[in-house]
Structure 1
């Protein structure tokens, strides 16, 4: 049965103030030996064990690192969390994981809750987009109010006040489209993400730039707006394949979109890599033996680096703000 004795109960029984009990528990400040012994006897008789959170709060310290991601179920972020956990385990720190579910309102609530938890630091992939200037200003104020070191990971936003680890979304999409064009596949459709988000827009811009630099026209009927989910990508692909003519290649702009696309292709009894090709933003590990091309990134390394940067920031809050672009490679499988 859980012991519900509180620090106030200990203080009352020992006939001292709450602050004096706190000093004994945390071994901070002066307490005369007679009073200390009396408080320790009361603590022992009540079987009182203070929580780690209570101790950390009293010491104005913490062993907890907060992490906020937009899709905790996504294998991409699961891999990033592996990298984060490796560093935290080595440092004997706890991970407090929160999922914003790509919702700014939910992320805002999470940040306000975490503000009460006395975190040591925070790693965040923001759900907020950069179109609404007022929201961005409010968001920055909220982050600043945490008063702890923060590292942004795989962020579509570029804040000059915090360390950030990026992937080049526009550059990756440009290189992927360029490679397919140079291999002779210039009839390339695209299933985008929600274009109200910067990540989706950047990838779409990279796709358009590759066409423009090769002097090719983009066919509007080959542009399909998705939302980075498997379900929507599956439905869009079904509609693509119902057409009399469809693109020889489709650029799927995230891993979940790729899963939906490939499932629809197989359900239509078509052969991937022969009847239609795919160039994917990110590898899908479960499709390792299938014939499709992809942009290969290392989200685990990204999580590891973001956490290492946060640890360095905690150790030295006055160092210059750092920005780091993670590398990526195009794996062609035609």
Structure 2
């Protein structure tokens, strides 16, 4: 199926109207174009557009809008579903029919604000370890990615009346690192890397919650690892609050991610390479898949 994303070229009449798209079309093909704007009517550059054929349910093209909010594709005739999405806004979906030789004017698609999930009630929320995971991905030097996790940790969130005033903390037992390879795990615990004998914990304490729109937040804070403290931001998606579990506990969930650079914590992989040690590369992708239970109205105590 031949597809092409084309630069937008529009012809205007003397009155400024736009009768259609002036683009070259392959034989038997038609064109689809759309202009994506936000709820204030402003162009949405970088919005994701996915076009799916309704007969086969296969994605036939996927891309992003240009800085002016426009997207264009040439397609074989037939019915298609078009989904548009952008950060902090609700996705939109519509059905279009593509006709051979036809290039109609771009459809205007407006993305509305995302539905605001109900925030968790104020109070102390403590991690539920059986339903929480702290994972990481690092590229093995010159080889495939290494996937690992920490199996022992603790954490909590003090939810304030104003969510932006909330605080979160996480304490990870560094010796609980697990990658599925005993030799590598022992090396990661050694003085060459985490040095768990002298630095038994990895700690994160938040300093500020910043709302980015919809369910997206950034948790700014301080991460302490290997005796070094650095400011980091956790890109966080709030997943909502439910009553669940054996006792119908009130629970909330979130997914937080960050990219860490080993050199920032004096975990210098270059010196390891110089000594013939090849464990993981210089960057690590950290992911916290968190489920927390409402505990008390009091503030959980961060680690000292």
The structure whose residues are more often helix, as a share, is: 1
What TM-score comes out, normalization by structure 2 length?
Answer: 0.24
What TM-score comes out, normalization by structure 1 length?
Answer: 0.22
The structure whose residues are more often strand, as a share, is: 2
